[in-house]
Structure 1
């Protein structure tokens, strides 16, 4: 769940050895010039030059209610004091609040991480916290987002408003894990927290990340568990670079305190075996914590005071459905929804069938528009805008709406049906199939670009190609969740199925638009809601659905390899904009 933006890696398609046609198409796509077209609707003028400010940094330990000391970096604009108090942006992270550099000059000049410098430049105090059991904080972790970790948010807020430079007003934000900590802080009801902006973060742990469609996201949890274990032990990979590790707190005892804190992290539990054991909402961690005790979606029920929440995400993120689910379920006044063409973290834009490009959307300015209005009362234009903004790929334009879902009409297409005399289609297992190492599920572990090789009409091994529309006479815009209803004449319980909605060109090459997955309980009717998207299919292109039984790159394989799946009927429902 990191928020870095490494360079895009060479991906591999669901074919282990792509055909020459596929290779030629991909070369053509990669060679085609493309510039990001996701610049914000309000971004029509050059950015305003921010005045240069001076600031200070202080690294301290702050004790929690149970005595555990959390490492906190405080960044203050010069002049913030009791006579000139300022609002605060809070960022609670599992990924180290700051790094210590070997070069003293670089260490002294290091500003806030995670893209928070624009807030400091705009005159906010910035507080960055290592959550308990991580970074330079003391304590250990029995699970991620434990009740103790969530309650720490209240204690940190108490500490902030008690400082002489604080005006008593706080906003919280972050990407991915820190986005979830921001949202969880918002569920506490602390009077100082006035608005939160969880970006690209999880809303409902079980379907969003642990078992999308009921299938365990095994490779992600293996990799993420290894990554955070190295961080918690303050191990660098590779060693010997410009960074020595996590930043200790200030003072002559900082090094000793860091070593003591790192020693306590040795008791941290690994998330991988815990996540693998969570098969339902009733499941609990080894220390008895239920999913709903830590998942944001279940923590609002007893909250009497609702604050504005900015649900902010991208269509090409594995967590794309999370932002919409949050916005729909938590309609507090002032809340907003923003969905762009982005990967996890928003550094890259994904346009189906094209190579990835860097996003041109200014996230910092958008967040300042939100927080300046809700924390400072400064008119930014956001107070007059519709609450929903979303980007439609294909037509490449921003659109707004008063609510979600937006107005659409369902177009229903029946593709195959033995009851109407059509054949039963058999789907075998191809154990090599996967969506490659640049998929939406890769991007949640590093924020890398999203890219898929085009699927050719000849790529049929272990794949069921179903034509929804052979050739469109006019453009067609889909916004929302496409739904695929499968009537399975034969299927073993626990069969994994993966579904892909594609835009098909005249050569039969398909560009991935949306996807979904399901753990089938056996024969019968199942309906799969694909992840949400807004995309305009071009005139002259086709639409198809592809069904497979494996995504070996990202999901745990089932044990039904030798059991055939027979599909008797398929019905596809597309939410189409008028």
Structure 2
């Protein structure tokens, strides 16, 4: 098909019914007024002028050349859009999205059919908006998202409190404190900025009020009504990302309307993600849009229900540029058959049911165990990914197979069941499946966590019966992995993974009946090996001018005198200038997570973020945020501050402070 020329505009504003104007960037195919075209909406708080501009500029021109309009809209209170954000995936946000879709469909250049896509926030809200069934929304592409906001998002995981809960709240406080660009909104930029600074919430205050799966988390979780979800959805994720479960959960729940695609990737679009191999996202997306927005009979509805990259023994590295493996397809996804493992008398992980075990074993991991667990969600293929697991296994109870005689290939979500007891109301359990290479290098295949108070459900947690054995089942995250002959499979059990999950109030440890351990690994089963096209352009992101270089540091500091462990994160995006808008911006972020290996009340997380915006005419603004989370046995204690500066002078300051009762978490 011949590529169409197109124009790019930021001078169109969408006015909502309440009068709020949303800032919009549109890539418009030439001739759309005479020959109307379909459109794809991405609706985000991440700032089209600077935050997402590189990836927008890698994709929407390609869509426009294929005759598909791209409509990139900042949600209210973000970028240059008016108003103040009121939270994450709120009813107002989704209502605004429906209004925007209606607006697009009513334009003279539109053929009346709209698609919606996005990664992370945009992946979430396109599924949630589709569940509301706006008439013009015909299909979605959801990347790195969730169908279950309580168990598969950045806040809590199977009842465990993720450290990313504070980290992400800090990130969003920093994001939402940013000024609109005066070059686009004019003289009212400062008024808009001050309104935003004054009104923006500290999201953690709301998130931490809901420590169980209540109506707050049910809102926006499409798993609450899979049967009612009927929009064609291409659902994409990466094994290296926290949102790896969603594609398989979507096809299990939605059925044939959903298609799953899982690569080796971090939290990025597939055409520029790491580790490689990448995928031709543009080709996939254009075929999807043409099928559902143009009624082109191209067979997109008949692609295999699940396509996945099977990792073939990657080694943990400082930078994982490419992971070995191969692509497979399953025309119809169904619950996999499993290989069952138990514990033999010699503490060996052995295939088969009913191992004799090695009796009851008490396990209490040092609270600073887990520093090689990596980030919950990853933006770079470096130390944000899980490192060599030998470090973390030192604080775990491990069981291991003999070297494998034959390969073992898995695809799906492993399940672990075991009997255990606990002397307190609850404790955290962590299970990891590890690929042990012949030289001892240990690659994490997959992991799962469970707050034992949530063992029978997440809506009504209950205390453990003290020192009485209970049966527990853990569903680990999804994986696609081949264990090679000569490698060993290790099951590692722990009660801590610092700082990935925050400790229970007493951290009492557990006593495990090793004879009860049953590990069910999902077999790959019937499949077809396939080739996945890679993007034609190996470097699709535009290159901006960096006036100051960025940097990244991630390190662990242990004080052998005090017993404190400090996990440090330092990020600097560099000071860059957009070649067209000439807007200059920079963000720096630091985090420090501290804990004494024997004292759960010693935990402390501190995050700081600074943003900087400048123009050549001397316009210079900056914001600084600081957030902190500590605890007692019975309470979570959180605080935050936001400061705004113009030309070096402080013009705004605001503080947040809240103490919340711990609710089985």
What is the TM-score of this pair, normalised by structure 2? Answer: 0.68
Write the distance in 1 (CA, Å) between the matches of 2:268 and 2:451.
28
1:451 corresponds in structure 2 to 385
Q: Indicate yes or no: 2:435 matched with 1:483.
A: no
2:218 corresponds in structure 1 to 292
Tell me the secondary structure at the aligned position of residue 399 of structure 1.
Answer: strand
User: After the TM superposition, which residues 202-217 of structure 1 pair with which residues of structure 2 at under 5 Å, given as runs?
Assistant: 202-209=146-153, 210-217=155-162
**Deviation for aligned residue 1:295:** 2.9
Write the distance in 2 (CA, Å) between the matches of 1:114 and 1:94.
19
Tell me the secondary structure at the aligned position of residue 272 of structure 1.
Answer: helix
Q: Identify if the C-alpha distance between structure 1 residues 201 and 419 changes in structure 2 by more than 3 Å, giving closer, same or farther.
A: closer
Deviation per residue, 1:465-497 (Å, 9 max, x gap): 112x21211101111111111211335322112
Write the distance in 1 (CA, Å) between the matches of 2:60 and 2:287.
14
Write the distance in 1 (CA, Å) between the matches of 2:367 and 2:116.
44
1:429 corresponds in structure 2 to 365
Match of 1:544 among 487, 490, 498: 490
Q: Indicate yes or no: 2:397 matched with 1:464.
A: yes
**Structure 1 moving runs of 4+ over 6 Å:** 416-419
Write the distance in 1 (CA, Å) between the matches of 2:336 and 2:263.
18
Q: Identify if the C-alpha distance between structure 1 residues 52 and 208 changes in structure 2 by more than 3 Å, giving closer, same or farther.
A: same
**Deviation for aligned residue 1:193:** 1.0
Match of 1:156 among 100, 106, 127: 100
Where do 5+ consecutive residues of structure 2 fail to align? 313-323, 348-353, 454-463, 526-665
Write the distance in 1 (CA, Å) between the matches of 2:477 and 2:370.
17
The count of aligned residue pairs is: 488
Q: Identify if the C-alpha distance between structure 1 residues 211 and 146 changes in structure 2 by more than 3 Å, giving closer, same or farther.
A: same
Match of 2:292 among 364, 369, 374: 374
Q: Indicate yes or no: 2:509 matched with 1:575.
A: no
Residues 90 and 128, structure 1, Cα contact 8 Å, conserved in 2? yes
Residues 98 and 247, structure 1, Cα contact 8 Å, conserved in 2? no
Deviation per residue, 1:501-524 (Å, 9 max, x gap): 011123333211010001113341
Write the distance in 2 (CA, Å) between the matches of 1:516 and 1:344.
19
CA RMSD of aligned residues (A): 2.9
Match of 1:265 among 177, 196, 201: 196
User: After the TM superposition, which residues 510-549 of structure 1 pair with which residues of structure 2 at under 5 Å, given as runs?
Assistant: 510-521=442-453, 522=464, 523-549=469-495
Deviation per residue, 1:507-547 (Å, 9 max, x gap): 33321101000111334111111101111110111111111
Residues 438 and 448, structure 1, Cα contact 8 Å, conserved in 2? no
Q: Indicate yes or no: 2:39 matched with 1:88.
A: yes
Tell me the secondary structure at the aligned position of residue 116 of structure 1.
Answer: helix
Write the distance in 1 (CA, Å) between the matches of 2:175 and 2:361.
49
Match of 1:117 among 52, 56, 61: 61
Write the distance in 1 (CA, Å) between the matches of 2:380 and 2:95.
28
Tell me the secondary structure at the aligned position of residue 10 of structure 2.
Answer: strand
Where do 5+ consecutive residues of structure 1 fail to align? 1-47, 102-106, 236-244, 284-289, 351-355
Residues 271 and 281, structure 2, Cα contact 8 Å, conserved in 1? no
Write the distance in 1 (CA, Å) between the matches of 2:78 and 2:67.
28
Residues 180 and 296, structure 1, Cα contact 8 Å, conserved in 2? no
**Deviation for aligned residue 1:259:** 3.4
Write the distance in 2 (CA, Å) between the matches of 1:460 and 1:194.
48
Deviation per residue, 1:372-408 (Å, 9 max, x gap): 2221233545344322211211182211113223643
Tell me the secondary structure at the aligned position of residue 12 of structure 2.
Answer: strand
1:337 corresponds in structure 2 to 260
Deviation per residue, 1:126-177 (Å, 9 max, x gap): 1111112222222223321110110111111111122111111111111110
**Deviation for aligned residue 1:464:** 0.6
Tell me the secondary structure at the aligned position of residue 165 of structure 2.
Answer: helix
Write the distance in 1 (CA, Å) between the matches of 2:89 and 2:367.
35
**Deviation for aligned residue 1:113:** 4.4
Write the distance in 1 (CA, Å) between the matches of 2:276 and 2:208.
34
Tell me the secondary structure at the aligned position of residue 145 of structure 1.
Answer: coil
Residues 424 and 566, structure 1, Cα contact 8 Å, conserved in 2? yes
Q: Identify if the C-alpha distance between structure 1 residues 202 and 260 changes in structure 2 by more than 3 Å, giving closer, same or farther.
A: farther
**Deviation for aligned residue 1:269:** 1.4
Tell me the secondary structure at the aligned position of residue 184 of structure 1.
Answer: helix
Q: Identify if the C-alpha distance between structure 1 residues 84 and 157 changes in structure 2 by more than 3 Å, giving closer, same or farther.
A: same
Match of 1:365 among 277, 283, 287: 283
Q: Identify if the C-alpha distance between structure 1 residues 328 and 516 changes in structure 2 by more than 3 Å, giving closer, same or farther.
A: same
Structure number with higher strand proportion: 2
1:399 corresponds in structure 2 to 328
2:499 corresponds in structure 1 to 553
**Deviation for aligned residue 1:459:** 6.2
Match of 1:74 among 26, 48, 51: 26
**Deviation for aligned residue 1:300:** 5.6
Tell me the secondary structure at the aligned position of residue 59 of structure 2.
Answer: coil
Match of 2:247 among 323, 346, 354: 323
Tell me the secondary structure at the aligned position of residue 190 of structure 1.
Answer: coil
Tell me the secondary structure at the aligned position of residue 318 of structure 1.
Answer: coil
Write the distance in 1 (CA, Å) between the matches of 2:58 and 2:503.
35
Write the distance in 2 (CA, Å) between the matches of 1:436 and 1:442.
14
**Deviation for aligned residue 1:95:** 0.5
